[in-house]
Each structure stands twice: as structure tokens, then as C-alpha cells.
Amino acid sequence: MLYNESVMYNFFPGNRSCVKHSLRTPFQPFGVPPNATFLSQIFSGAVSFPKARLLFNIWGGVLDRVNYAMIFTEHGCFPLFSTFYQTQGWFFKSFNDITMGIQDPNIFKPPVECTDLL
């Protein structure tokens, strides 16, 4: 997704093909919303080994008429999990293998197979 260009590419590695779409959804940053309510803290990991556990903060509230709960690390505020509930049902999002910083900004360039669509 290239929000500045309002375009999105779906790349299919199996047949090395690419489809270009118009992107009409605005970029949605992810973080603790300003109106969030602090709900609780939890530890994850080995309780008997202080350096083998992480402390998480749980935040909740209502955002655009949607109820949510989000979990972030205490140190660094890295996202772990979020859940949203509205009349249509639940939406869950989890984050794994988070790395600080972007080591190679070229990952944001569409694959070569998509260049014909530019």
C-alpha cells in the first residue's frame, strides 16, 4: 500500500503476477488512542525469572463508536494484540516478530512485476 500515491498492489508470488488497485482508505496509525482508559497490567513469561518476562499494559475504550481493547508492552509501547467489537462482530489483530526501525526502506517499493502497472 502506497498511501501517498493512493495505490495498492496485490502481488502473487506463485505465478509472479501483480494487480494494481486504487486505495481509498486513509492511513490508520496504530497506537494507544488519546482517549484510551488504562485497564490493567499483566506479565507474560517465566514468573520465577525476572529477566524472562515482559510487562504489558491493557488499554480500552470506544473509538468511532467501536469498542476496543489493546495490549502494548510497558517498555517501548510495542503492540501485541488488539480487539475491536461492533454490531457486525469481533475483529482481532495480533503482532509478532516486531523489529524496531526499518533497516531496508526498499521493502516499500512494489516488486519488479508491478512496474509495468505504474
Write out pLDDT tens, residues 46-91.
Answer: 878 877 888 999 999 998 888 999 999 898 888 888 888 988 888 8
Q: Is residue 46 part of a domain?
A: yes
- Number of domains comprising the chain: 1
Residue-level pLDDT at 39 = 96
Q: Is residue 108 part of a domain?
A: no
Q: Is residue 52 part of a domain?
A: yes
Residue-level pLDDT at 58 = 95
CA atoms of 42 and 80, how far apart (whole Å): 12
Q: Is residue 54 part of a domain?
A: yes
Nearest to 27 by CA among 44, 6, 9: 6
Q: Which residues pair with residue 56 across a beta bridge?
A: 42, 73
Q: Which residues pair with residue 21 across a beta bridge?
A: 8
Domain carrying residue 41: 36-97
CA atoms of 117 and 35, how far apart (whole Å): 41
- Residue 14 predicted with pLDDT over 60: yes
Q: Is residue 56 part of a domain?
A: yes
Q: What is the pLDDT of residues 36-55, one digit of tens each?
A: 999 999 988 887 887 788 89
**DSSP 8-state assignment for residue 2:** B
On whether the pTM is more than 0.85, the answer is: no
Q: Is residue 60 part of a domain?
A: yes
CA atoms of 90 and 67, how far apart (whole Å): 10
